[in-house]
Amino acid sequence: MGESPAPGLLKVMVVQGKRLVIRDFKSSDPYVVVKLGGQTAKTKVINSCLNPVWNEELSFSLSEPVGVLNLEVFDKDRFKADDKMGHAHLSLQPIISAARLRQIIGASSGETTLRKVVPDSDNCLLVESSISCVNGEVVQSVWLRLCGVESGEIELKIKLIDPPVAPLR
């Protein structure tokens, strides 16, 4: 039996939300829950804000097969269940394959664009997203359109550190 490769590390920076839906009287108190496989992390609550800026970094360990990053936005309520404010998902396959490409071409310093991901039915991208190698780290900036709600977008910056890779023979 071969050893399974060490898990990689995925850092998800929840940057900001735009045009989130109103769930309280005039506003919402949004927070974001991010899930990868069985791992869950969440941001702090920002009170009375429909264009919140979190700038919060959440970390996940990555293992094969790499799944999909799921994200849900909720409105924090004190007296009843938190209201849903939309959800989105992002396939991590593009950033993983870009990381493998980086290993093959050996990009380590400066900034190199490895690939672009266009919005399609497999993702919730609002606009085209590029995956770059910046000083040896593989990073992707995305704007995700929230599903299941009238409006709302979330900006994430994803950083892949030590991706799970099969050893080169």
- Domain membership of residue 150 (yes or no) is yes
Q: Is residue 22 part of a domain?
A: yes
Within 10 A of 58 (CB to CB), how many other CB atoms are there? 20
Residue 167 has pLDDT above 60, yes or no: no
Please report, for the domain that includes residue 108, its CATH number: 2.60.40.150
**Domain annotation covers residue 103:** yes
| Rounded CA separation 112/102 (Å) | 9
155 part of a folded domain = yes
Asked whether the whole model's pTM tops 0.85, one would answer yes
**CB atoms near residue 114 (< 10 Å):** 21
167 is a domain residue: no
Domain that holds residue 154: 9-161
**Buried b / exposed e along 123-151 (16+ C-beta atoms within 10 A):** bbbbeebebbbeeeebbbebbbbbeebee
CA separation for the pair 147, 16 (Å, rounded): 16
Among 14-18, 31-35, 155-159, 160-164, the range scoring the smallest mean pLDDT is: 160-164
**pLDDT value of position 2:** 47
143 located within any domain: yes
As a whole number of angstroms, the distance between CA 68 and CA 41 comes to: 14
| Poorest-pLDDT segment among 71-75, 103-107, 109-113, 147-151 | 103-107
- The total number of structural domains in the chain stands at 1
Evaluate whether residue 3 is within a structural domain.
no
Average pLDDT over every residue of 126-151: 93
Which residue has tokens 């990009």?
Answer: 107
- Answer whether residue 65 shows pLDDT above 90: no
The answer to whether residue 50 is domain-embedded is yes
